[in-house]
Amino acid sequence: MGKIHESETAKGPRALAQPGQLGGKFGRRHDLDALRAIAMLLGICLHAMAAYSGMPWVVMDNHQNETLEKATSFIHGFRMQLFFLVSGFFTAMLSARYGALGMIRNRAARILLPFLICLLTLIPLIMVVNVLAVTANASHPQDPLFRAIQQDDAECVMGLLEKGSPSLLEETEKRLRMTPLTWAVICESEPMTSLLLERGANPMAVSRSGENPLTLASMLGRLGLLKLLVEKGGDPFQATSTGNNPWKAAHQNPDETRTVVWLARGKTPEDMAALEQGRVAVVGYLDRLFRSRGITPDPPRATAAPEATKEVENLPGWMQGYFAWLASDQMVVNIGVLGINLLQENLLDHLWFLWFLWWLCLIHAGLGWIGRFASLGTARENIGLYPGLVVALALTWALQFFMNLDYYPRTLNFPVGPDYSSGLIPKPHVILYYAVFFFFGSWYFRLGDHACRLGRLWWCALPVAACGAFPLLFVTVGDRFTNPLLQTLFTWLMVVGAIGLAHRFFTIESRWFRYLADSSYWLYLMHFPLVVFVQWQLFYLPLPALVKAALVLAVAVPVLLGSYELLVRHTVVGRLLNGKNPVRNQDSNLTDMPLIKQGHRMV
């Protein structure tokens, strides 16, 4: 049951797609082409909204909106999963038409070569824009109280506290969720720190990054600040939720200290030698406090991994070992004085998906060769649609258990959807997660589901996902059984529903959608620095978050489309990304190579 029979296709009997078939058997699926373009364009929308959603981002505007927060989570919950499924479908089409080697040559030209070019050109540009934007964002606080603290304006601070609500003293800014006291400490201002403590500020308030005023004072080597905080009730023995405490902070790696201070203030410490001398005094002070309680602390090792969080501590031992490996420095390579974590560092930015696709295409070719020699192809195709979907759901659910865990304080994770992996070495659980969708798409091509039975209940799947599963994700946060199950259901309902919706409305080729499909690759590759730049410029304007997000798109999208039309579409860049013809026929976008012979197929 669930197998797609010949009589169930849209136009009478059709055989299942077989590798090496010639002629028109592999006509374009215009609906899936449209979905691939929509997935790319949704990525631009997501990044445009990110600055105003409250999620960690390059530019974090003080004007934020809960609707945008939910919208970014909603899009992230299914967008790239849908993209990888469609990519797997077209990869299988390429393999069936041109053989595994032909597919690899095509993917090398369309994926690997653009990736390498962007790695050498676009990524450095993104890094420059990011540094400038973060520096401007961090060094110019938008909140009046934080500006007054930065300027050491005691009179203004007192006036704002007198006029404001009692909760103003503990209200956090939007970027790193620092309280006014935390900001005073990171600005290394003893007068402001003393003033806020006298007003009753909480010395143990924890920021988004897991720091509190005591850990920051210790990290900065400011003994005077640390003593003030301890005298006013700060506990130097208490660790934060990320396992950090003043003792560890005083032994922090200098490079990491520079990063923390730069992210918070927009500039690095001016005198690292003085900072290190201050840390010696802090360590001596903390050592005396520890010994007064009969404790002899050991200096943390510089290469020690962060302590496991409570979430990770409750996992099975083998999973704890896996996350400990992820959090370790085993994948760090030293280039001069710079240590780069190939697993954790954000080296690829938004281009990670190209790196993932390339590896999955290589694996696809390898599995094709193995299947050919082991005669596994027919057995794979005899699996029915619904049993195959159940297997994909089970695998997704299993891998979702690895997601959304704070196993490494610097890791960017999302409340909905998979983790982020932009290192040169993909995180195993993340690439395996996307591999489920990629290979489901490949298998789905072989089923020859011309009637799109997979998405025929789209009218039911999409409302259930959006109105049922999605809201429940936020109700079940922390439930390590129910939440992954709901995440899996939401993702697959959205993916299957989107496929059915596209099949209902986009089966006939549209010149408008063809243009979007052609341009979407370029738009997505190039959008990131432009979007961040516009967000940076809008940072200073007192406009609502929804208006700013709309302005980012209103500026970025026309510029990107104009650049595609003028600089890409009819140029060598367009041929590199989309093939020879700017206006393509139904079989283009696959490859410009001739068909392979029937007797020499390699799938």
Q: What is the DSSP string of 26-51?
A: G---HHHHHHHHHHHHHHHHHHHHHT
Q: In the chain, how long is the greatest CA-to-CA distance?
A: 86
CA pair distance 503, 519, nearest whole angstrom: 21
Q: What is the DSSP string of 148-170?
A: HHHTT-HHHHHHHHHHS-GGGGG
Give the bridge partners for 338, in sequence order: 335
Q: Would 2 be classed as within a structural domain?
A: no
Banded pLDDT at 487 (limits 50, 70, 90): very high
Banded pLDDT at 276 (limits 50, 70, 90): very high
- Collapsing DSSP states into helix, strand and coil, what is residue 389? helix
Amino acid at 574: G
CA pair distance 296, 378, nearest whole angstrom: 67
Give the bridge partners for 140, in sequence order: none
Tens digit of pLDDT for each residue in 38-83?
A: 999 999 999 999 999 988 899 988 888 999 999 999 999 999 999 9
Average pLDDT, the chain: 84
pLDDT the model gives residue 599: 35
CA pair distance 436, 430, nearest whole angstrom: 10
The answer to whether residues 59 and 169 belong to one domain is no
> Of 201-215, 293-307, 475-489, 500-514, which range is least confident?
293-307
Neighbours of 413 (CB within 10 A): 15
Span 205-233, mean pLDDT?
Answer: 91
Banded pLDDT at 301 (limits 50, 70, 90): low
Q: Would 459 be classed as within a structural domain?
A: yes
CA angle 367, 371, 376 (to 5 degrees): 135
Span 518-523, mean pLDDT?
Answer: 93
pLDDT the model gives residue 219: 94
Amino acid at 215: T
> Of 511-520, 540-549, 590-599, which range is least confident?
590-599
The answer to whether residues 167 and 251 belong to one domain is yes
Q: Which two tokens stand for residue 266?
A: 């927009």
The answer to whether residues 319 and 397 belong to one domain is no
CATH code at position 171: 1.25.40.20
CA pair distance 548, 594, nearest whole angstrom: 49
How many alpha carbons fall within 13 Å on the CB side of residue 475? Answer: 7
- Collapsing DSSP states into helix, strand and coil, what is residue 335? strand
Instruction: Please check the confidence at residue 1 and state whether its pLDDT lies above 70.
Output: no
Q: Is-contact 556 549, C-beta < 8 A?
A: no
Q: Would 559 be classed as within a structural domain?
A: yes
The answer for residues whose C-beta is within 8 angstroms of residue 596's C-beta and 6 or more apart is: 20, 97, 98, 99, 102, 602
The answer to whether residues 348 and 308 belong to one domain is no
Domain boundary among 296, 326, 356: 326
The answer to whether residues 248 and 349 belong to one domain is no
Domain boundary among 326, 361, 381: 326
pLDDT the model gives residue 229: 93
Amino acid at 519: S
CA pair distance 193, 205, nearest whole angstrom: 14
State the DSSP H helix or E strand holding residue 341, giving kind and residue range, or none if neither. strand 338-341
The answer to whether residues 486 and 358 belong to one domain is yes
pLDDT the model gives residue 530: 97
Amino acid at 255: D
Neighbours of 474 (CB within 10 A): 13
Instruction: Please check the confidence at residue 548 and state whether its pLDDT lies above 50.
Output: yes
Tens digit of pLDDT for each residue in 421-449?
A: 999 999 999 999 999 999 999 999 988 88
338-341/332-335 β-pairing: antiparallel
CA pair distance 236, 450, nearest whole angstrom: 66
Q: Which comes out higher in pLDDT, residue 361 or 33?
A: 361
Q: Would 11 be classed as within a structural domain?
A: no
The answer to whether residues 198 and 293 belong to one domain is yes
Tens digit of pLDDT for each residue in 337-375?
A: 677 888 888 899 999 999 999 999 999 999 888 877 655
CA pair distance 216, 485, nearest whole angstrom: 39
The answer to whether residues 221 and 294 belong to one domain is yes
Q: What is the CA radius of gyration of the chain?
A: 27
Q: Of 150-164, 233-247, 548-562, where does the model show the most confidence?
A: 548-562
pLDDT the model gives residue 583: 45
Domain boundary among 273, 297, 326: 326
Q: Which of 16, 8, 36, 2 is nearest to 443 (CA)?
A: 16
Q: Which of 72, 42, 55 is nearest to 557 (CA)?
A: 42
Long-range contacts from 177-181, C-beta under 8 angstroms, 24+ separation? 177/207, 177/208, 178/207, 178/208, 178/264, 179/205, 179/207, 180/145, 180/146, 180/149, 181/205, 181/213
Banded pLDDT at 514 (limits 50, 70, 90): confident
The answer to whether residues 444 and 574 belong to one domain is yes
pLDDT the model gives residue 20: 37
Q: Which comes out higher in pLDDT, residue 241 or 596?
A: 241
CA pair distance 235, 580, nearest whole angstrom: 67
Q: Which domain holds residue 208?
A: 142-326
- Collapsing DSSP states into helix, strand and coil, what is residue 302? coil
Q: Would 523 be classed as within a structural domain?
A: yes
CA pair distance 266, 60, nearest whole angstrom: 13
Instruction: Please check the confidence at residue 413 and state whether its pLDDT lies above 80.
Output: no
The answer to whether residues 300 and 425 belong to one domain is no
End-to-end Cα distance, the chain? 27
Q: Would 417 be classed as within a structural domain?
A: yes
Give the bridge partners for 341, in sequence order: 332
Amino acid at 373: F
Q: Is residue 204 exposed (0-12), middle (13-18) or buried (19+ Cβ within 10 Å)?
A: middle
List helix spans (H) across 564-592.
572-578
Amino acid at 536: W
CA pair distance 545, 603, nearest whole angstrom: 50
pLDDT the model gives residue 594: 41
Q: Would 204 be classed as within a structural domain?
A: yes
Place of tokens 């401007």: 136
How many alpha carbons fall within 13 Å on the CB side of residue 71? Answer: 20
CA pair distance 315, 311, nearest whole angstrom: 7
The answer to whether residues 247 and 395 belong to one domain is no
Q: Would 332 be classed as within a structural domain?
A: no
Number of domains in the chain: 2
The answer to whether residues 209 and 111 belong to one domain is no
